[in-house]
Amino acid sequence: MSQTAAAPANAEKRYTVHRADLPLSCPLPSMALWNSHPRVYLPIEKEPGGETSCPYCGSHFVLVD
């Protein structure tokens, strides 16, 4: 039996991520996919300031380390 994600997809609009979380995707692996947009990978480590936004839902991600 597979384990399902507990967090609702795209419930927040700002997420803090760490290098251990890379590669970054939206929705995050801990989120349910059934009620969200297709998974998209975001190259946050290459972005100036370590910040990026999802082109689908607008969620903002900040790399803190």
pLDDT band (50, 70, 90) for residue 20: very high
pTM metric for this prediction: 0.78
**Mean pLDDT across the stretch 20-26?**
94
**Tens digit of each residue's pLDDT (9 = 90 or more) over 36-59:** 899 999 999 999 899 999 999 999
Q: What is the mean pLDDT of the chain?
A: 85
pLDDT of residue 5 exceeding 80, the answer is: no
Q: How far apart are CA 8 and CA 1, in angstroms?
A: 20
The closest of 36, 19, 18 to 27, measured between CA atoms, is 36
